[in-house]
Structure 1
């Protein structure tokens, strides 16, 4: 197998990175993908940095054992904690991370407020504070830690009363503000976007980092001469550290949503 024919590796703390993988299938339909979700250790957002870094390195080694040509860290928390260290160690493979899509949110906010929903760890990391520092003079940016939301989505709860109540409780103190955008700073959160729209309405733009990440993935593949040139549709293989049928079935279900 030449390098172009090797699969693309995707990693997330659980099923969240499936939201980025879905976007990749649209942009790179000929590519094969290997997805690894670490649901056994989810959520990452409430762990300490060293723990997340160790788990991310383990996932990287797993994907490399599957012969991948590039790795996408489709997890905001893992990107914040480990992307620099990963690139220092694995110098012979492109590694793409994800971060909250703050720039496009600021561009369309027109001076109105922006809410960033993310895990507690993503919001507390230096990588995120550096991102905030770039834009917080231009617009009112509200950080909203969402502990517990990943766990609901990992259990396959993406709609209904429980999610709605969770979101209403989180957002109630901001409903009086003129909010232009909500940035989904965790790859799990796009799966509850419909419930979010019910609460904040269609006028509030909801943005996640999937499109920017996938565009960067395509650029990296092209610049490293790694784009798969086959004319047939690619395949997706899902692995998960929980290693049970329920989580694998949920992964493929979310991919089809």
Structure 2
């Protein structure tokens, strides 16, 4: 297998990154993908940053065993806590990460932006620097959401619990004049409609996925790694919770999302 034919690795602390994978697979229809969900250690967003970095390093080693030609960190927490260290340790491997799409919402002219993310993502300097950059001209509401990613990990079976948790977490912000919602955890896009319904007015939701897909396409093109055709595309799923039920959940979420 040539390097161009090698798969793209995508990983997350659990099922959330599958929402990212869906966008990447649509944007890059000729690429093979390997997805690794570290569900046995989910969620990352409520762990110390040094532990997240250690876990992300272990997952990256798994993807390298599959000869990944590029790796996408489909986890906002792992991007903030571990991306720089992973890049330094793997200088020849393109490593990209998802980040809260706060700039995208600001550039769209939104004035009252709710950012929903894990407690760790919101506490790290990378996110705080973004807030500092924009808060002079934009009202930013930072909402840590403990337990939400873990609830979403249960898929359709946990929908009632997830709905109740969303209502409780958002109780203090739904009366604010929010016009944009940034989903700063890759688990959350699976329940984007549920989050929208908490407001009595329309809001625009931002994930950052389109920008990530464009960035990945550019990296592959610049390095001569972009595949132009593929008659037998393959997308494989792996998990640190290596059970048939977990892998079936991954496949279902990729094909249908969480509410079907």
Which residue does 1:90 correspond to in 2?
90
Runs of 4+ in 1 over 3 A off after TM superposition: 157-161
State the alpha-carbon separation in 2 of the partners of residues 138 and 244 from structure 1. 48
TM-score (norm 1): 0.96
CA–CA separation in structure 1 for the residues paired with 2:26 and 2:72 = 16
TM-score, normalised on structure 2?
0.95
Alignment of 1:95-106 (within 5 A): 95-106=95-106
Tell me by how many angstroms 1:160 deviates.
Answer: 4.3
CA contact (8 A) 1:116 1:142 kept: yes
- Superposed counterparts of 1:144-223, under 5 Å: 144-157=143-156, 160-201=159-200, 203-223=202-222
- Given that residues 152 and 158 in structure 1 are in contact (C-alpha distance below 8 angstroms), is that contact kept between their aligned partners in structure 2? no
Q: Structure 2, unaligned stretches of length 5 or more?
A: none
Q: Distance in 2 between matches of 1:47 and 1:163?
A: 20
In structure 2, distance between residues paired with 1:100 and 1:214: 14
Q: What is the Cα deviation at residue 132 of structure 1? A: 1.4
- Determine if contact 1:13/1:75 at 8 Å carries over to the other structure: yes
Q: 1:202 to 1:7 in 2, by over 3 A?
A: farther
CA contact (8 A) 2:4 2:227 kept: yes
How many residues align? The count is 256
SS across alignment from 2:31: coil
Give RMSD over aligned pairs: 1.4
Q: How far 1:25 moved relative to its partner?
A: 1.1
1:27 aligns with 2:22: no
User: How far does residue 194 in structure 1 lie from its aligned partner after superposition?
Assistant: 1.7
What is the distance in 2 between the residues matched to 1:95 and 1:40? 23
**Distance (Å, rounded) in 2 between the aligned partners of 1:79 and 1:101:** 13
Structure 1 contact 101–209 (Cα < 8 Å) conserved: yes
Indicate whether 1:132 and 2:124 are aligned. no
Conserved 8 A contact 2:31-2:230: no
Deviations along 1:131-174, one digit per CA (max 9) or x if unpaired, are 11211111011110011111111111487432222112111211
- Which ranges in structure 1 are unaligned for 5 or more consecutive residues? none
Q: Aligned with 1:67: secondary structure?
A: coil
